[in-house]
Amino acid sequence: MKKKYNYNLMTGGILTVTMLLLILISVFYVPYDPDKMDSTAKLAKASFHHIMGCDQFGRDIFSRVMKGCGNTFFVAAGTVWMGTVFGILIGSFTGYYGGILDEVLMRINDTIFAFPSILLALVFVSLLGGGKYQIILALGIAFIPSFARIVRSEFIRCRELDYVKSARLSGAGSLRIMFVHILPNTRNVLFSAILIGFNNAVLAESGMSFLGIGVQPPEASLGRMMSEAQTYLLTRPSMALFPGLMILWMVLGFALLGEGISERQAG
């Protein structure tokens, strides 16, 4: 059989794997201490020593980018984890049982869902203060509704299917039906939702850090690096370019991966 090449899956896979590798390496090794200021290397151009150059304090951009990717990834993963776990819990119970509880919860859900997640996060941050964990909490809460909604609609679709009735006749209890019979059937939808959610989290986190209310200095963050680089846009555009490209890389990788996977599932 002639095999159709799945470019999306391949490109996405390569981008994601290299990104994950880079993050993994950054945990154990970075070329320079990302926080060490070197007054001799202020705004140094890209060279053999500093492959992406240095910032206005003489910190190595490449090292900071590596650490920043790690931080962004950490926040995004935490956010998505929180959204998924609570989303599955809320979505499965409301979807399976329906009724007045479902009605009320979904109203609330819809209202939260309608808000731009970054705005919700802003409210939380203005109440809780900034920082890595606050951001995870804030974005995580903002992300729960979208996951709950997806899981719920899948459960509503599945609970009417004959195999669920058949499982009930086979003596399976409600919890067993929900988590052993139905939940595995939502995996395709859930998986692509996780990838999309991950990307939204990356964009939201970097946006908040760009505004100065995300990951707090001195910890490196891609968004903050870009907002600092704006001042030097005329003389050193590459200072903004590299962190920007890293965000692009991360988001593109996951987006293509998701695209490729759904392509494979469809064909």
Partner 1 sequence: MKYAVRKVLTMGVTILVVSFLVFLAFHIIPGDPALAKLGTQATPEQLEQLREEMGLNDPLPVRFVRWLVAFVQGDMGTSYSYQMSVTQMIGEKIPITLTMGMMAFGMMVGLSVVLGIYTAKHNGGVIDRVICVLNQLLMAVPPFFSGILISWGLGLMLHLFVPGSYVSYTKDRGGFFYYLLFPAAAIALPKCAMAAKLLRSSLIEELKKDYIRTAFSRGNTVNGVLYAHALKNALMPVITFWGMALADMLAGSIIVEQVFGIPGMGRILLTSISHRDYPVVQAIIVLIAVWVIVINTLVDLIYKLVDPRIS
Partner 2 sequence: MQENVLEVRHVNGFYKEQSVQNGIRRLFGREGQRVQVLHDISFFIGKGEVVGLVGESGCGKTTLSKAILGFLKDREGEICHQTKHPQMVFQDPYSALNPVKKIGWIMEEPLKNYTKLDRQARREKVLEMLQNVGLEADMADRYPRQLSGGQRQRVNIGTALMLEPGLLIADEPVSALDVTIQAQIMELFQELQQKLQLSVLFISHDLRVVYQMCDRVLIMKEGRIVEEGTVEEVYRHPKHEYTKLLLASAGIS
Name which of 68, 43, 71, 73 is nearest 57 in CA terms: 43
Give the interface size with partner 2 as a residue count (CB under 8 A).
Answer: 21
| 31 is an interface residue for partner 2 by CB under 8 A | no
Q: Tell the burial category of 56 from Cβ atoms under 10 Å away from its Cβ (0-12, 13-18, 19+).
A: middle
| 162 is an interface residue for partner 2 by CB under 8 A | yes
Residue 176, binding choice from partner 1, partner 2, none, Cβ under 5 to 8 Å by partner class: partner 2
| 181 is an interface residue for partner 2 by CB under 8 A | yes
Residues in the chain: 267
Q: Tell the burial category of 176 from Cβ atoms under 10 Å away from its Cβ (0-12, 13-18, 19+).
A: middle
Find the binding residues for partner 2 in span 214-233 (CB under 8 A): none
Q: Which is nearer to partner 2, 116 or 184 (CB)?
A: 184
Find the binding residues for partner 1 in span 49-108 (CB under 8 A): 107
Name which of 267, 227, 264, 266 is nearest 13 in CA terms: 264
| 184 is an interface residue for partner 2 by CB under 8 A | yes
Q: What does the angle CA 174 – CA 89 – CA 175 come to, to the nearest 5 degrees?
A: 15
Of 182, 240, 257, 261, the residue at the interface with partner 1 (CB under 8 A) is 240
Q: Which is nearer to partner 2, 188 or 227 (CB)?
A: 188
| 166 is an interface residue for partner 1 by CB under 8 A | no
Q: C-beta of 178: minimal distance to partner 1 in Å?
A: 28
Q: Which is nearer to partner 1, 21 or 248 (CB)?
A: 248
In this structure, the dihedral spanned by the alpha carbons of residues 219, 222, 226 and 232, taken in order and rounded to 10 degrees, is 60
